[in-house]
């Protein structure tokens, strides 16, 4: 009897101990799960707040002065929590994309002046990024687009100036030079502007050199034309002298003596007589020299004038 009571008591005690242990374990596990849930919620809240801090107060754009380090810190918190819907990671990716786009736009200019080395491919890539963030933040999109247009306009200005300069280098004219100079003056990047201006200066010197050469040729041509006109005028005004000069030249080539005689005749000074002496002297008509050409025309050196006298000239009658 006593033995059965003792066994029953032991069994009951063991059952009670097991029950208490099971209850206690369940309580501990419940408390642990509750604590873990609270910790998970706290971590999620921290991560969510970290992502929210990347935006400005109205959550319409990334915060002013946002840095890459702040984004990386928020990313660490997001990676440590469960994010079944992926909301935190999606927001974080949007922030990073907008920040990178902002950096890309800022890299185009410095103090509102287009940086060296910016090309059309880079501008196209940045423009695509700006278009993509319009659905994420219209405010940031408008702000970045405004800054982008400053760089785009300066790039277009450089392109137009460069094309104009290349054109004037191939076809150097004053008109094209003037237009190219006007476009270069609109370039704001000092290094690029100086480079283009130096190239234009070389073209200007070339044009000035060509102008001087052309002016010299024109002057020489004008001098030659002037001399030719004077020679023709002398021949027209002094046909007799011209004819004598030709005959003297021919005679000098044939006979040196005749040439000497011609010179003596030319060097003789005319004797000036008074009016009374001229009236007493009989007028002796000059000897005429008549020759005929193949057309039976007579070459004469005299011709009767309107006063009844004769004028000396050479011509065919």
Looking only at the bridges linking them, the beta strands covering 291-292 and 298-304 are: antiparallel
Q: Is residue 267 part of a domain?
A: no
The pLDDT score that the predictor gives to residue 210 is: 79
Which span out of 30-44, 197-211, 275-289 was modeled with the highest average pLDDT?
197-211
Higher-scoring residue by pLDDT: 313, 234: 234
Tell me: do 224 and 121 sit in the same domain. Answer: yes
Q: Domain count for the chain, please give it.
A: 2
Let me know if residue 296 belongs to a domain. Answer: no
User: Do 131 and 70 share a structural domain?
Assistant: no
153 plus 222 within the same structural domain: yes
Given 191, 212, 243, which residue is the final one in a domain? Answer: 243
> Mapping DSSP to helix (H, G, I), strand (E, B) and coil, where does residue 62 land?
strand
Domain boundaries, position 8: 1-89
Whether 199 and 112 share a structural domain? yes
Task: Answer whether 59's CB lies under 8 Å from 51's CB.
Answer: no
Q: Is 120 domain-assigned?
A: yes
- Distance set, CA 2 to CA 11, 13, 15, 252, 269 (Å): 14, 16, 20, 185, 193
Q: Are residues 196 and 111 in the same domain?
A: yes
| 73 assigned to some structural domain | yes
- The residue from 199, 214, 243 where one domain ends is 243
Tell whether 119 is covered by a domain. yes
| High-pLDDT (> 90) share of the chain, % | 44
Of 219, 243, 267, which closes a domain?
A: 243
3-62 residue pLDDT tens:
666 666 666 666 667 676 666 666 667 777 778 778 888 888 999 999 999 998 888 899
Based on the fold, state whether residues 43 and 153 are members of the same structural domain.
no
**pLDDT above 70 coverage of the chain, percent:** 63
- CA distances from residue 192 to 151, 152, 157, 204 in whole angstroms, order as listed: 14, 15, 11, 18
Is 45 part of any domain?
A: yes
Within-domain flag for 5: yes
Residue 281 scores a pLDDT above 50: no
Greater confidence (130 vs 259) lies with 130
pLDDT digits (tens, 9 = 90+) for 240-250: 555 555 555 55
């Amino acid at each position: 009897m006593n033995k059965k009571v003792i066994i029953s008591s032991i069994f009951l005690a063991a059952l009670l101990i097991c029950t208490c242990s099971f209850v206690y374990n369940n309580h501990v596990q419940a408390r642990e799960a509750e604590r873990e849930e609270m910790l998970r919620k706290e971590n999620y809240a921290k991560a969510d707040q970290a992502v929210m801090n990347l935006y400005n107060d109205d959550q319409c754009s990334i915060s002013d002065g946002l840095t890459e380090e702040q984004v990386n810190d928020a990313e660490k918190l997001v990676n440590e929590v469960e994010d079944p819907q992926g909301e935190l990671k999606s927001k974080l990716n949007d922030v990073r994309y907008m920040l990178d786009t902002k950096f890309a736009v800022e890299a185009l200019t410095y103090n509102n002046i287009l940086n060296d080395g910016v090309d059309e491919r880079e501008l196209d890539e940045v423009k695509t990024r700006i278009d993509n963030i319009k659905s994420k933040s219209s405010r940031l999109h408008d702000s970045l687009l405004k800054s982008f247009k400053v760089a785009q306009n300066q790039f277009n200005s450089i392109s137009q100036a460069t094309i104009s300069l290349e054109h004037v280098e191939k076809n150097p004219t004053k008109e094209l030079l003037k237009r190219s100079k006007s476009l270069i003056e609109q370039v704001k990047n000092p290094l690029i502007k100086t480079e283009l201006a130096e190239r234009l200066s070389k073209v200007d010197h070339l044009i000035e050199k060509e102008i001087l050469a052309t002016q010299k040729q024109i002057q020489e041509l004008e001098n030659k034309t002037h001399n030719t006109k004077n020679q023709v005028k002398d021949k027209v005004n002094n046909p007799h002298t011209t004819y004598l000069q030709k005959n003297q030249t021919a005679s000098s080539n044939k006979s040196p003596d005749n040439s000497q005689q011609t010179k003596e005749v030319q060097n003789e000074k005319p004797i000036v007589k008074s009016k009374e002496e001229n009236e007493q002297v009989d007028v002796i008509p000059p000897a005429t020299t008549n020759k005929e050409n193949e057309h039976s025309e007579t070459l004469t050196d005299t011709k009767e004038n309107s006063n009844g006298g004769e004028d000396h000239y050479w011509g065919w009658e």
